[in-house]
Chain A
């Protein structure tokens, strides 16, 4: 019972944070809303029983990546963004489209994943050593490919930021 209450509280927090991210006009406020989303997601992982994934979510996303975001926003001293005039087309077609899209996705998820094999709360035990075995045996190739991808991104950033001589 308590688990379900916590699940819905933090799910609401995650969705609310995501909406706030879009609504806020100052980049810092948006970035901090994203931190709230990441934290709420970490709690959801914890509720599933995956404490390692929850801890890594906090360390990597909320702690490292978002700190860099905030750092860059502070460094650039970015001001509030200007609000463009509201387009009537977006209001007319955007909102119904959004609702339709949401319904479609939920319908597809429920069809693919019927209630019988949903993960129960607290059932997804993910001790670190099991995750490590999965990562370094069956998923070794995707794991390495991802790290090379990140390396390429870093090198791209270095090339772009290099001063021309």
Chain B
């Protein structure tokens, strides 16, 4: 593939992935409002368009036309940088996420992924760890006690749970022997005992999956770990002083992070795009992406379900849960997996 073709294909893929991600983010918000509505025995948004399907569009327009307030006494450069940083980092992660196998179009063979990086998993972790700055700076630059408290909580929480999150992935890495997200999925091909798919969750990584799930909820500041924006104590946490599009950026970043975390869980534990593939060539091209989308949808659904079910942790419970439950579990999982792999080989 020559340079021009490479640049064109990459640009097209980037545009397509970003458009799809933003669409998914918008409709996850709608899905959440609808589902939480049903869980609480009410309808949720149902007036804009059929079944309320145009509601995200209306919300977007509303955010654009709202008055953009910058409070006095804020640290202006950092105050403006924080939401930009949050959103851009949240959208960058999609660059290394593979959603399907390979496709051939007129002799150009390309993966269904923006770029396949050798250390893809570490890139995702690195971007997540940088994303803490968005929240930290938002709280500090706003010059408000609620914002500062919210962002201090968010920082402490994200640092603590990042440890458990990282350690829970070690088992998967031992089993697949690569940091490449594509390689991790390809290591999960096939079945064992005849019918059980060879996914990491069925290969003894169920504990790691549980740890990852909890840590991922905490990393994205979702219920039951939503102390950074606990509205009963902190007004809205780190984004109290933000309005209009700047608030919308934080909001979109949170949902984009949810999608990313769901994609990562799918790739690492549920076999990514692997699933039964059959039929004519066009169906064979679409089915893997469909399986991937279905698994990510399962995670988003679970997220919202948990939000509609569980109450919020107390702060000391939150920290104790991370350091005294998830952390030892993740280490034990890594040790046991390493032992089993070493004894087998």
Taking Cβ atoms with an 8 Å cutoff, the residues of A that contact B are: 28, 32, 35, 51-52, 55-56, 58-59, 62-64, 67-68, 70-71, 74-75, 127-129
Given known pairs A52-B122, A55-B123, A59-B122, the reply for A67 and B133 (CB within 8 Å) is yes
The docked-state distance in angstroms from the alpha carbon of A35 to that of B179 is: 25
Q: Which of B55-63, B124-132, B268-276, B293-301 contacts A (4 or more CB under 8 A)?
A: B124-132
Given known pairs A52-B119, A128-B119, the reply for A74 and B139 (CB within 8 Å) is yes
Task: Please determine whether B133 and A35 come into contact, CB atoms closer than 8 angstroms.
Answer: yes
Question: At the interface, yes or no: B225 with Cβ under 8 Å from chain A?
Answer: no
Query: 13 A–B contact pairs at CB < 8 A?
Result: A35-B133, A51-B117, A52-B122, A58-B130, A59-B129, A63-B126, A63-B128, A63-B132, A64-B129, A67-B129, A71-B156, A74-B136, A128-B119
Task: Please determine whether B119 and A70 come into contact, CB atoms closer than 8 angstroms.
Answer: no
Chain A neighbourhood of B148, CB < 8 A: 74
A23 CB → nearest B CB, Å: 15
Chain B neighbourhood of A71, CB < 8 A: 136, 152, 155-156, 159
Task: Please determine whether B126 and A67 come into contact, CB atoms closer than 8 angstroms.
Answer: no
Question: At the interface, yes or no: B140 with Cβ under 8 Å from chain A?
Answer: yes
Chain A neighbourhood of B179, CB < 8 A: 52, 128
The docked-state distance in angstroms from the alpha carbon of A75 to that of B159 is: 15
Question: At the interface, yes or no: B113 with Cβ under 8 Å from chain A?
Answer: no
The docked-state distance in angstroms from the alpha carbon of A106 to that of B137 is: 38
When C-beta atoms are compared, the residue in chain B nearest to A60 turns out to be B129
Chain B neighbourhood of A32, CB < 8 A: 78, 133
The docked-state distance in angstroms from the alpha carbon of A127 to that of B179 is: 10
Chain B neighbourhood of A128, CB < 8 A: 119, 179
Task: Please determine whether A56 and B122 come into contact, CB atoms closer than 8 angstroms.
Answer: yes
A13 CB → nearest B CB, Å: 16
Taking Cβ atoms with an 8 Å cutoff, the residues of B that contact A are: 78, 117-119, 122-123, 125-126, 128-130, 132-133, 136-137, 139-140, 148, 151-152, 155-156, 159, 162, 177, 179
Counting from the closest, the 5 A-B pairs by CB-CB distance are A63-B129, A55-B122, A58-B126, A59-B126, A55-B119
The docked-state distance in angstroms from the alpha carbon of A78 to that of B129 is: 24
Q: Helix, strand, loop or mixed for chain B's interface?
A: helix
A8 CB → nearest B CB, Å: 22
A125 CB → nearest B CB, Å: 10
The docked-state distance in angstroms from the alpha carbon of A74 to that of B139 is: 9
Query: Other than the known A55-B119, A67-B159, A71-B155, what 16 A-B pairs have Cβ atoms closer than 8 Å?
Result: A51-B117, A51-B118, A52-B179, A55-B125, A56-B122, A59-B126, A59-B129, A64-B159, A64-B162, A67-B129, A67-B132, A68-B159, A70-B133, A71-B159, A74-B152, A74-B155
Given known pairs A67-B136, A74-B136, A74-B139, the reply for A59 and B125 (CB within 8 Å) is yes
Chain B neighbourhood of A52, CB < 8 A: 119, 122, 179
Chain A neighbourhood of B122, CB < 8 A: 52, 55-56, 59
Chain A neighbourhood of B119, CB < 8 A: 51-52, 55, 128
Chain A neighbourhood of B156, CB < 8 A: 71
Chain B neighbourhood of A35, CB < 8 A: 133
Task: Please determine whether B126 and A55 come into contact, CB atoms closer than 8 angstroms.
Answer: yes
Given known pairs A51-B118, A128-B179, the reply for A67 and B78 (CB within 8 Å) is no
When C-beta atoms are compared, the residue in chain A nearest to B140 turns out to be A74
When C-beta atoms are compared, the residue in chain B nearest to A59 turns out to be B126
Among A28, A56, A62, A68, point to the contact of B130 (Cβ < 8 A).
A62
Task: Please determine whether A127 and B136 come into contact, CB atoms closer than 8 angstroms.
Answer: no
The docked-state distance in angstroms from the alpha carbon of A153 to that of B128 is: 27
Chain B neighbourhood of A64, CB < 8 A: 129, 159, 162
